[in-house]
Amino acid sequence: MTRFSVLLRKDLREQWRTLRMPVVAIIFFVVGLGSPVLAKYTPELLKGAGGNIQITIPTPELKDAIDQLIKNLGQVGPFAAILLAMSAVARERERGTLALVLSKPVTPSAFLGSKFVALLATLGLAVVVASIAAFAYTTLLFAQPPVAGFVACCLLILLGIMVFAAITFLASTLLGSTLPAAGVGLGAYILTAIISIDARLGQFMPNGLSDPARALALGNSPPHLWISLLANLFWIVAMLVGSWLVFRNQEFGS
Amino acid sequence: MTDAAIVCQDLVKRYGDVTAIDHLDLIVPRGSVFGFLGPNGAGKSTAIRLLTGLARATEGSAQVAGYNVGRESIALRQQISYLDQQPHFYDWMRGRELLEFVGQLFGLTGTRLRTRVDEVLTLTGITEAAHRKVGGYSGGMRQRLGLAQALINQPEVLFLDEPVSSLDPAGRHDLLQIIEQLRGSTTVFMSSHILADVERICDRVAIINHGRLVVEATVEELQARYALPIFVLQVEKAVETTVIALTERIRKRPWTTSLTVDRDEIRVGTADVEVAGPELLRLIAESGVQLIRYERIRPSLEDIFLRLVSDTPEATAR
């Protein structure tokens, strides 16, 4: 068993035993389940709320359910990622367990790698749970989306979420404190939203993954898929390399 | 140097303008229990962090267990262990689980891991608590668990930063006994404020102040080198005038370095014990003072420590 796998097992057990993994999975399940339901019944709710006012709303379709899912996961996902990643390294420093682990034969890459893979596992499981719930209810209420395209859509959503996890992860490593790390994550969320107002720049941001994700889920040809995919992968790799460079030059202990 | 477990050469650690470790040269013999003493802020914990690879030296070099601390960090950490003065653990883990986790980080698996975990649990006396969550452990149990995890890899060099400071007398006694058992097989580098404990179990001690090594020797060498012997005379109270006359006569002797009178006790410090001993007895006999007790005492490590840390130029300048 390598040190990385020992650390990863510990980090995964920690995610589970401290209830982070199940809680995030339940929240995503509700979001996944609720998205097609919301898409289906929002027009009726609006009609009911309108009273005597005549509101003409087109009949909801499959694409509305997919849009709702992308929008909801695109909002809840980054916040979950920020809340999980803010404590990844900083909490170990704050509670003093960094010295316990790093006085053992553990490399910085094994330590950070296990943390990020555990984050990916938690958020990945949550997206899978949300996707299954959304797929089932979308099929029930609308029509069955193409399976491969829907899976690809969910993977792109996860990629977008992981960008915010990676940014917060770097902040958690660099700042060594959870709340400032969360602040950086939220700042990045707002900044990328502002940048995404410009369509050309937006395709390099996590929000730029929404259009190709929607197209794939509906079985259409995705626009700017590779540009958005590579750009977001680049952000994640850059943040992780940054975390490693910062971490290997840090000193530990009380 | 093959007989040395730790060799520091000109080790310096600066934090901005503050020099935490100032050109530290130190050799710790293999298999010894080495006491590392100094007042608060002297640089003890910083030195331990440098030697365990948790911090990097600004200048100089150090070798621990034959490995260069900066360049062979991973190989070094396979051979050493470290216990912080306030050990921190994953509170959601159970005691045994934590030890298994640490053992796995040292590459132990299967039966070897389980056997070693059982051994250290028994050695540190926490077998009963092994299945409880660490978060519910008392301070003493956490310290025992800390020592158990530090021993899991049978380290060549064990660094203990104030290991007994948070323990009750019974816990202290037990922990010191465990440390004593390691003598010969493991080099123990221990910082402590409790000088009686250091005096009891350490083969050698080093005293640092303001990051500088003040002295390094065995406790006996220190006592021989720095201790001015003290004679304690306890006399009968009823004869005050004769006592005053006696103290005046003693004070005038050339070998007297200090003289204090506290109620019925006279303490005489001397630089020349060979001359002072017989002459003191003669003076007492001539004075007619009734003597209750006559004793030559050795100063404790604490006396020497206080003297050395207050004698250094930095301390004098304060």
Structure tokens at A117: 């893979």
Q: Which CATH architecture has domain B4-217?
A: 3-Layer(aba) Sandwich (3.40)
The pLDDT value given to residue A50: 67
DSSP classification of residue B84: -
Per-residue pLDDT, B239 = 66
The whole-number pLDDT of residue B314 equals 45
Query: A33 near A134, Cβ under 8 Å?
Result: yes
What is the predicted pLDDT for the residue at A49?
73
pLDDT tens, residue by residue, B136-187:
999 889 999 999 999 999 999 999 999 887 788 888 888 899 999 999 899 9
The angle subtended at Cα A23 by Cα A21 and Cα A28, nearest 5°, is 95
Of A7, A18, A102, the CB nearest to B54: A102
**More reliable by pLDDT, B230 or B188:** B188
Res. B311 pLDDT band, cuts 50 70 90: low
B227: confidence class by pLDDT, cuts 50, 70, 90: low
Chain A closest CA to B56's CA: distance in Å? 7
Which residues make beta-bridge pairs with B28? B6
Let me know if domain B228-297 sits in CATH 3.40.50.1980. no
Burial class (CB in 10 A: 0-12, 13-18, 19+), A237: exposed
Give the mean model confidence (pLDDT) for residues B125-132.
95
pLDDT tens, position by position, B36-45: 998 888 999 9
Burial class (CB in 10 A: 0-12, 13-18, 19+), A56: exposed
Q: What angle do CA B110, B114, B120 make, to 5 degrees?
A: 145
Q: Are strands B18-29 and B4-15 parallel, antiparallel or unpaired?
A: antiparallel
Q: How high is the pLDDT of residue A36?
A: 96
For residue A120, what are its two tokens? Answer: 């990916």
As a whole number of angstroms, the distance between CA A194 and CA B282 comes to 97
pLDDT, one tens digit per residue, over A60-103 is 999 999 999 999 999 999 999 999 999 999 999 999 999 999 99
Asked if A253 and B45 come within 8 Å (Cβ–Cβ), the reply is yes
Task: Give the model's confidence band at B238: pLDDT under 50 very low, under 70 low, under 90 confident, else very high.
Answer: low
Show the low-confidence residues of chain A (pLDDT under 50).
none
H or E segment and range at residue A246 = helix A225-248
Q: Is the pTM of this model over 0.90?
A: no
Name, of A187-196, B37-46, B258-267, B295-304, the range with top average pLDDT: A187-196
Interface test with B, best of A17, A18, A103, A251 (most B CBs within 10 A): A103
The residues of A whose Cβ lies within 8 A of any Cβ of B are 1, 3, 6-7, 10, 14, 17-18, 95-97, 99-107, 251-254
pLDDT band per the 50, 70, 90 thresholds, residue B199: confident
Q: Write down the pLDDT at residue B318.
A: 37
Is the per-residue pLDDT at B310 higher than 70? no
Query: For A145, what's the count of Cα atoms within 13 Å in the CB-facing half-sphere?
Result: 33
Beta carbons within 8 Å of A232's beta carbon, 6+ residues apart? A159, A160, A163, A204, A205, A206, A208, A209
Which residues share a beta bridge with B36? B191, B206
pLDDT at B299 over 80: no
Is residue B66's pLDDT more than 80? yes
Residues B297, B232: Cα–Cα separation, whole Å: 7
| Closest chain A residue to B72, measured at CA | A105
All residues at 6 or more sequence positions from B308 whose CB lies less than 8 Å from its CB, including other chains: B207, B209, B214, B215, B226
State ipTM: 0.90
Contact: A96, B88; criterion CB under 8 Å: yes
* Direct distance between the N- and C-terminal alpha carbons of chain B, in angstroms, rounded to an integer: 38
Burial (CB count <10 Å: 0-12, 13-18, 19+), residue A50: exposed
Q: In this structure, which amino acid lies at residue A189?
A: Y
Given B56, B80, B104, which is nearest A251 (Cβ)?
Answer: B56
Q: Do A252 and B149 touch (CB under 8 A)?
A: no
Which chain A residues are within 8 Å of B52, Cβ to Cβ? 103, 253
Alpha-carbon torsion angle B140, B143, B148, B150, nearest 10: -170
Q: What is the mean pLDDT of residues B39-62?
A: 93
Chain B contact residues (CB < 8 Å to A)? 45, 49, 52-56, 74-75, 77-78, 80-82, 84-90, 92, 101-102, 104-107, 109, 149
Residue B259 tokens read as 């003289």
Q: What are the chain B neighbours of A1 within 8 Å (beta carbons)? A: 104, 109
Two tokens at A57? 């709303």
CB B158 within 8 A of CB B130: no
Say if residues B32 and A228 touch (Cβ distance below 8 Å). Answer: no
pLDDT surpassing 80 at residue B2: no
Judged against a pLDDT cut of 80, whether residue B113 lies above it is answered with: yes
pLDDT at B309: 76
Mean pLDDT confidence for B110-136: 96
- B133 and B94 in contact (C-beta within 8 Å)? yes
Cα→Cα distances A223→A163, A168, B184, Å: 20, 28, 71
Domain boundaries, chain A: 3-248
For tokens 């199940």, the residue is: A22
Mean pLDDT of chain B: 88
